[in-house]
Each structure stands twice: as C-alpha cells, then as structure tokens.
Amino acid sequence: MTDSLEVPVDGSSPATPDRRLRHGTAAFRRTNLALFSSGFATFGLLYCVQPLMPAFSHAFGVDAAASSLSLSLTTGVLAVAMLFAGALSDAWGRKPVMLASLLGSSLLVLATAVSTDWTMLLVLRALLGVSLAGLPAVAMTYVSEEIHTDSLGFAMGLYIGGNAIGGMGGRLIAGFAADHASWRVAVGVIGVLGLCAAALVAKGLPPSMHFERRRVHPRALASAFGGLWRDAGLPWLFAEGFLLMGAFVTIYNYVSYRLLAPPFSLSQSHVGAIFLVYLVGVASSAWMGALAGRLGRRRVLWTAFVIMLAGVALTASASLWAIVAGIALVTFGFFGGHSIASSWVGKRAGVAKAHASSFYLFAYYMGSAIAGSLGGFAWTHAGWAGVAVYVAGLLVAGLAVAAKLRHLAPLPVR
C-alpha cells in the first residue's frame, strides 16, 4: 500500500530505473554493517554519561538537574551543529564527513575521561556535540540516497538498531566500569570503542554512488530550510522527533537516581544491566519500520506513542520487575516511532533529504536537551511521580500530532 503522504516533492519519474542497493545483495549487507557500526558508536559516545550522572553528582557536588547537563549540553549543541552538517556533506561528501566526525568524537570522549573539574567536563561535552553532528544526519541522508525504496524501511531500522545497541552498550559498559573502577575508566573505555568503530567505517562503508557535490551557499541554505516549513507534513514530523526523544531521554536520565536510592538500592552494575532492554529497540526499529512500509507510516506511527504511554504507567509501580517492563515498553515504542518518523522525513523531502534530515535531528536532539533537562526539575520537586506525569504529557502531545498526520490530505502528484 502506498502512503498518500509519501509522494516525493522533487517530481522524479517512477519510470526512471533505480540502481540503489536492495535487500539480499552482498553490497547491501556490507553497507548496513558499516552503518550499524557508526550508529553503535554515535549513541555509545553520546549516552555513556547517562548512567554516570549520580556519580557526577557525588564527584562534583552538583544536583540531578545540573548533572543532566553532561548530556543535555551535548545534545543541544549537537542539534544546532547538525543543521549545518548536511550542507557540509553536500560539499565534502558523505563518507569523509561521517569518518571525521567519528574520529574526532572518540578523541574528545577520551579527553573527557581526564577532566579535572566540572566546567572542563562540560566544555568537552559541548565540543563533542559539534564533532558528533557530522554523523547522524549524514548517515540518514546516506541511507536515503543509497538504499532502494523497497529496502529503505528495513535499512533505516537496522541503522537505528545500531543506535539502540550503542546506547545500551555504552550505558551497560559505563555502569559496570564505574562500579568496579571509576567513572573515568568507564568514559575512557567508551572512547576506545569509538576509535574501533571508526576503523570499521573507514574500511567497510562504500563511497556514495548517488551523491552529487554541491557548494555551500548560506543564502541557498537558508532558503532550503525555509522550504521545509512550506511542506504540510514535515514540520509535524519534526515535532514528533522532539516529543519522542524528550520523553525517552527523560525516563533514562532519572531512572538511575530512582533505582540507586532506597527502597531498591541497586548498584551501578545492576542499573547498567537494566539497559539491556535496549535490545527490544533493535527488534522494534526494524519490525515497525518494515510494518510501516507495508501498511503506511501514517497508519502505524500513533501506536508507538500508545506503547510508550503504557510503559510510563508501568514505571509508576513499586515493583522492580514492573519498572523494567515499563522501560522496555518505552524503549520499544521510542525506537519504532523514531524509525518510522525518520524514514518518512527522507521520503517527504525529495532532493532536500540532507536538509530535512538535519532539521529532523535538530528537533530530535533539542527534545533531549530541553525536555530532558526540564525533567530534572520534575524529579527534584515531585520524585518519580512527577517525572511520569511530565513524560505522559509529552507523549499525549505526540499522539495528537500523529492523529493529525493520519488525517492530513495527500499531496498532489507532480
């Protein structure tokens, strides 16, 4: 079934032969392995500090909201820098920008491990936001350009699955290392893993075959971004990215504080082990992405928010097992929703894929920076009940946007 919202805006002819990579070929498998590695590294480097926030509070004498700046500052800078990363990749090429981003980010994370004070740590984390910007938006553009439309949902889902494994692995490894050594060792280990992933991308990611080099013109860039807002669907998809990420990050930012404290009193290793539920994100991103490809994205997106709301309700329980199940549901819904929304952006944007992907991820990471930090005030003033109500509000807003997208009139064929 063809989704009526997914008519390309570039007017390309369906009769034009499409030689992009398709599922079942060796080239498709090599490409997805490299992209999976890049997704793993991106989320590992970015989110390794999340389970360490209570350790930062103890080491530097800061509260939960201030400690969350170790992540929110990075994602906020990342969001802004990503607006320009797509344009730079238009001029320099997709793979060179992705590789430089991954190498630089790994080195900055290694430097963070030897930070001597809180200000220095935050400066390095802000610089990490600049460095990381060259990978996520460009990787999504690479997938949209190089993968055949029949395999796009699966490939995007697998790339986002790499994000899920990286987010899980970074949190799990960091929590274990912090428990048995220190937070510095934890961050250093993640930096080394990032360098290993960069080597895999350098060797395994094929050069772009459908990339057309373009010069960067600031006026043209501003015009391209402005054009995105004239589309009837893209701004709402940007809003979905903000709300999905804001809700997800808030849950993960403050659940460590809850589980380390009585009555649970878990260790850092045990809290890190809970992040194994990220594995459901791998299944969700690929499965829901493929399901949306068959049934239409507008028919499936709303279910991601319903699943996340059910998960948030479970986290309000006093039972540890119910809390873990709730986190798993939140994770499943989040990665499924992100897979659908991000691939939908690529389909809507036509020749403006790089700019649209950059703006989607701007909204996505601003959700982490703004909503994630505001969740710290909910935790400080109302505990987990406050966090749950706050996140539920974000998800209800996302469900309303999904309903609007479902009923949006189709674009005319051009």
Question: Are the beta carbons of 162 and 39 closer than 8 angstroms?
Answer: yes
**Contact predicate 321/264, CB 8 Å:** no
**Per-residue pLDDT band at 245 (split at 50, 70, 90):** very high
Higher pLDDT, 357 or 14: 357
pLDDT at 236 over 80: yes
Its sign, for the CA torsion 106, 121, 187, 34, is: negative
Q: Are 356 and 349 in contact (CB under 8 A)?
A: yes
Q: Which of 126, 162, 159 is nearest to 144 (CA)?
A: 159
User: Number of folded domains in the chain?
Assistant: 1
Position 223 confidence tier, pLDDT thresholds 50, 70, 90: low
Domain annotation covers residue 394? yes
Residue 304 lies in a domain: yes
117: domain CATH number? 1.20.1250.20
CA pair distance 285, 305, nearest whole angstrom: 14
CA–CA dist 36, 205 (Å, integer): 10
In this predicted structure, the answer to whether residue 163 has a pLDDT above a threshold of 90 is no
Once rounded to an integer, what is the mean pLDDT over residues 215-239?
Answer: 72
pLDDT at residue 216, as a whole number: 59
Taking residues 234-254, what's their average pLDDT?
93
How far apart are the C-alpha atoms of 53 and 67, rounded to whole Å? 6
Q: Is the pLDDT of residue 334 over 80?
A: yes
Q: For residue 15, tell me if it sits in a domain.
A: no
pLDDT digits (tens, 9 = 90+) for 123-161: 999 999 999 988 876 887 777 777 767 677 777 777 777
* 49 vs 54: CA distance, rounded Å: 10
Highest mean pLDDT (candidates 212-221, 267-276, 344-353, 388-397): 388-397
Is residue 407 within 8 A of residue 233, CB to CB? The reply is no
Question: In which band, very low, low, confident or very high, does the pLDDT at 330 lie, cut at 50, 70 and 90?
Answer: very high
Assigned domain for 354 exists: yes
User: Residue 412: pLDDT above 50?
Assistant: no
Q: pLDDT tens across 280-323, in order?
A: 877 787 788 778 877 778 888 999 999 999 999 999 999 999 99
Residue 199's pLDDT is 85
Is 90 exceeded by the pLDDT of residue 202?
Answer: no
* pLDDT above 70: residue 329: yes
In a domain, 19, yes or no: no
- Residue 313, pLDDT score: 97
Residue 5 has pLDDT above 50, yes or no: no
Task: Concatenate the DSSP letters of all residues of 329-340 into one string.
Answer: HHHHHHHHHHHH
* Residue 11 backbone class (left: φ over 0; alpha: ψ -120 to 50; beta: rest): left
Averaged pLDDT for residues 75-104: 81
Q: Which two tokens stand for residue 221?
A: 């860039």
Supply the pLDDT for residue 207.
Answer: 74
pLDDT score recorded for residue 295: 79
pLDDT surpasses 80 at 261: yes
Global pTM exceeds 0.85: no
Residue 238: other Cβ atoms inside 10 A: 24
Q: To the nearest 10°, report the CA torsion of 41, 46, 51, 53.
A: 160
391, pLDDT greater than 90? yes
The region of weakest confidence among 75-84, 116-125, 139-148, 370-379 is 139-148
Within a domain: residue 321? yes
Q: Kindly state whether residue 64 falls inside one of the protein's structural domains.
A: yes
> Which of 273, 257, 247, 274 has its CA nearest to residue 330?
247
Q: How many CB atoms lie within 10 A of CB 182?
A: 15
Report helix angle 53-60 to 118-132, nearest 10: 150
In the structure, what pLDDT confidence band is assigned to residue 407 with cuts at 50, 70 and 90? confident
Q: CA 112 to CA 88: how far, in whole Å?
A: 26
Highest-scoring range by mean pLDDT, 201-210, 292-301, 402-411:
292-301
Mean pLDDT of 25-45: 81
| Residue 9 confidence class, pLDDT cut points 50, 70, 90 | very low
C-alpha angle 281-287-290 in degrees, rounded to nearest 5: 135
* Segments forming the whole domain that contains residue 118: 26-406
Best CA proximity match to 155, nearest among 146, 164, 167, 168 = 146
What whole-number distance in Å separates Cα of residue 267 and Cα of residue 49?
Answer: 16
pLDDT at residue 197 in the model: 85
Model pLDDT, residue 102: 92
pLDDT band at 92 (very low <50, low <70, confident <90, very high): low
Sign of the torsion angle spanned by Cα atoms 3, 5, 6, 10: positive
Packed helices 94-112 and 26-47: angle between N→C axes, nearest 10 degrees: 30
Q: Is residue 346 part of a domain?
A: yes
